[in-house]
Structure 1
Amino acid sequence: MSWRLLTGHQLCRLCLFRKPQPALKSKPSARVSYETDSQSNKENMRTVERLQACSVDIRKIRRLKAWVLLEDDTYVEEIANILKELGANKTVIASILERCPEAIVCSPAAVNAKRKLWQTVCKNEAHLIQLIEQFPEPFFTVKDQENQKLNVQFFQELGLKNVVISRFLTTASSIFHNPVENNKRMIGVLQDSYLSLGGSQANAKVWLLKLLSQNPFAVLSSPTAVDQILKCLQGQGFTNSQVLQLLSKLKGFLFQLQPESIQNSISFTKTTFECTDDELRQLVVNCPVLLYYPAPVLEERIQALLKEGISMAQLRESPMVLELTPQIVQYRIRKLNSLGYRIKDGHLASLNGTKKEFEANLSKMQAKQGRPLFNPVASLSVEE
């Protein structure tokens, strides 16, 4: 019998068929507990009123995180004042509190400590309030403050620019909650891996900083995972130089893969493209997504391209098109078709690139197509 969620109406109907059970006598203590629980579920009207005074839409908080309104101890005015001191106006403050209502349960002392930490990597207070407005949750996550401070100092000493660190604080905040000793150990493992694969000592630091700038989550890998992936690729016949290229092109995401998924992707690629082992390895180096995406995803994308009339020979020439989803490919092919360009008769390079790159290329093609073949202002020579 397949089970599914029942609506409240269905549950009520179901209750009609159940055999009535004798009522249980409630103990006084149970009744008191129920009354206490019921009372605790009521909203803190002081909190509600102060949020309304800040022009906060209470309905949004009820939908998002209603538990905040049940808290006894809140700091609405204090948090609003801290944001105001940083230059936030009333509209910005209301927006922050609506999207991150848990901010009001953070102690002002903890928020001020976080403010000082973020100010060490922000250009000025205007930059800081801009980051808070865009990413309020990382700012109001005030646990592990000392560990976060040590990690900021470590990344600064490593040579990462403050603008990069400030980006990490907002988009990769989990790395700052990781014990600083773990981050230091993984940085050492990444650097040793680069050197063991033939990278030069002179370029090691530059390579490492670039890798971290592209993918800070690389520090959340483990030494075991790094060792397993390197051995897996070397076992597949990839040279140290090729592994190093893959590591750089995949921006450290290589270590987030599993040896089994890598083997499956390699096996799928070899069968699909009907290539030798050497050709396979070169194909993967030229197009690392063949390694990164699992076989089912690659299969779906290849089939979508074949349905558009693209041949396997074209795919083999320009496999980077597999970075694109079927939906993006179909959209771009329609755009090119509208200009009279038939992708199945040309090169797939026209499909590649980011959205911005594709649109720029499309504009050039449109301009070229619309260019007049004659001078429209020149007088015509007409024989009478």
Structure 2
Amino acid sequence: MLRLVTTSLCLYCQRAQVTPLLLTRPRSVIFQEENQLVVNALYDLSVDISKVRKLKGWVLRQSPVYVSETATLLRDMGASGPVIARVLELYPEAILCNPDQMEAQKKLWMSVCATHKDLVGIIEKFPASFFTSSSDHNNQKANIAYFQTLHLNKRIISKLMASAPQSFSRPMKQNEEMIQTLQKTYLDLGGKEDNMKIWLQKLLTQNPYVLLKLPNALPDNLAFLRNVGFTGDELLRLLSKLKGFVTELNPESMRLTLSYSQETLGCTDAELRQIVLQCPALLYHSVPILADRFKGLLAAGVSMEQIMETPTVLELTTQIVQYRIQKLHSFGYDVRSGSLEFLNGTKKDFEMSYGKLLYGSDRMAALSCK
């Protein structure tokens, strides 16, 4: 039978809710009480304790912890009180990192960050990438040194470390193998060596997780695409447009989506290749997703000819397309008899297109300059 045990709290401690201690039968797991010193220290930093309890409550029951040391490290780099609170709410595990480990991480990251302000900005967005295991430190150091030999600028390297920390925590040789595969592929497809660094930087920036893929997936997928008629130059363009997605595909999935798309559009092999170059979504979206998008467009009165003229509309979800069609219709624009170009792009792109219809291109140009 469970027995609930509570303790009396002084006025100071009553500001933080104490997790009850549950005593169970012998041999059952005994749940620890929260470390009240940790709760109080976080409270003093204006951390929302309820958020921590909800997402990472186990951290409040740990010992030893380094709340003041973590806050001091961030404060010394210029982090404000609200920033420190946000970091600890988002990633309370940070207080479990040994101070020596944190100093080593700070030194490592400053080798690729221009200022402390830049590093604080990264920690605020990607705290888990900074407060990482000490066992990863040597791999991180080796990977930074390797990427520097590629003459990638520091901003690119720091962005890679922040957004794809797994690639820096693993042995450097694995990243080297993938990078060499990408470089060889680029050159084999006709890319110029003088432009390779810029191409590689753009690819890694757009999809840093490409480093975590299997190197042999890239040549296998490109071999399939060659067999369906894409030239080396077209494959290079496609590889750049896919932003690394080509490493996440496989020949069978591409065969299915290409076959479905060609049958649905009723186009020739050559026409299909041109459509894919404009809209790579025909390669990496599954048949059910593409079927739903075709269905949504046709239900709105859009013709197959219009879709073939502007295939990039298939990159948008059915919900987004429906919303934009209704928005344009409210202004009096009928997509059934007009161009689908107005549906394309990001939310900002669409708002600009809508504004041009509403105010005229000259008026929108004037507004955008303000």
TM-score when normalising by structure 2: 0.86
C-alpha contact (below 8 Å) 2:234/2:277 kept by paired residues: yes
User: What are the Cα deviations for residues 257-291 of structure 1, in whole angstroms up to 9, with x where unaligned?
Assistant: 12111010111111011122222222212221111
Query: What SS does the aligned partner of 2:216 have?
Result: helix
- Mean Cα displacement is larger for which, 84-93 or 200-209? 200-209
Match of 1:53 among 39, 44, 47: 44
User: What are the Cα deviations for residues 142-201 of structure 1, in whole angstroms up to 9, with x where unaligned?
Assistant: 340111122122222212222222222222222211311111111111111112222233
Match of 1:321 among 313, 322, 335: 313
Q: Does 1:117 align with 2:108?
A: yes
C-alpha contact (below 8 Å) 1:111/1:142 kept by paired residues: no
Q: CA deviation at 1:369?
A: 9.6
Matches of 1:74 and 1:304, distance apart in 2: 54
Q: Which has the larger radius of gyration?
A: 1
In the superposition, relative to structure 1, how do residues 212 and 134 fare at CA in structure 2: closer, same or farther (>3 Å)? Answer: closer
Matches of 2:362 and 2:110, distance apart in 1: 52
Specify the code of the residue in structure 2 equivalent to 1:212.
L
Superposition RMSD on alpha carbons, in Å?
Answer: 2.0
C-alpha contact (below 8 Å) 2:303/2:336 kept by paired residues: yes
Match of 2:343 among 320, 336, 351: 351
C-alpha contact (below 8 Å) 1:75/1:107 kept by paired residues: yes
Q: CA deviation at 1:340?
A: 1.2
In the superposition, relative to structure 1, how do residues 182 and 370 fare at CA in structure 2: closer, same or farther (>3 Å)? Answer: closer
Query: What SS does the aligned partner of 1:163 have?
Result: helix
1:91-130 aligned at under 5 Å gives the runs 91-130=82-121
Structure 1 equivalent of residue 19 of structure 2: none
Structure 2 equivalent of residue 215 of structure 1: 207
Matches of 1:320 and 1:357, distance apart in 2: 13
Q: Does 1:86 align with 2:77?
A: yes
Match of 1:274 among 242, 266, 269: 266
Query: What SS does the aligned partner of 2:360 have?
Result: helix
Q: Does 1:147 align with 2:139?
A: yes
Structure 2 equivalent of residue 11 of structure 1: none
Structure 1 equivalent of residue 127 of structure 2: 136
C-alpha contact (below 8 Å) 1:318/1:348 kept by paired residues: yes
Give aligned-pair identity as a percent: 47
Structure 2 equivalent of residue 5 of structure 1: none
Matches of 1:237 and 1:183, distance apart in 2: 31
1:234-273 aligned at under 5 Å gives the runs 234-273=226-265
Matches of 2:104 and 2:171, distance apart in 1: 19
Structure 2 equivalent of residue 41 of structure 1: 32
Matches of 1:353 and 1:315, distance apart in 2: 15
- Mean Cα displacement is larger for which, 253-262 or 118-127? 118-127
What 5-or-longer segments of structure 2 have no aligned partner? Answer: 1-23, 364-370
Query: What SS does the aligned partner of 1:345 have?
Result: coil
Structure 1 equivalent of residue 56 of structure 2: 65
Q: Does 1:305 align with 2:297?
A: yes
Structure 2 equivalent of residue 22 of structure 1: none
Match of 2:157 among 147, 152, 165: 165
In the superposition, relative to structure 1, how do residues 237 and 110 fare at CA in structure 2: closer, same or farther (>3 Å)? Answer: same
Matches of 1:307 and 1:115, distance apart in 2: 55
TM-score when normalising by structure 1: 0.83
Matches of 1:369 and 1:155, distance apart in 2: 45
User: What are the Cα deviations for residues 176-232 of structure 1, in whole angstroms up to 9, with x where unaligned?
Assistant: 113111111111111111122222333333322222222222222222211211221
C-alpha contact (below 8 Å) 2:66/2:95 kept by paired residues: yes
Match of 1:227 among 214, 219, 222: 219
C-alpha contact (below 8 Å) 2:331/2:358 kept by paired residues: yes
**Size of the alignment, in residue pairs?**
339
Query: What SS does the aligned partner of 1:115 have?
Result: helix
Q: CA deviation at 1:370?
A: 11
Specify the code of the residue in structure 1 equivalent to 2:274.
Q
C-alpha contact (below 8 Å) 2:156/2:201 kept by paired residues: no
In the superposition, relative to structure 1, how do residues 200 and 131 fare at CA in structure 2: closer, same or farther (>3 Å)? Answer: closer
- Mean Cα displacement is larger for which, 111-120 or 47-56? 47-56
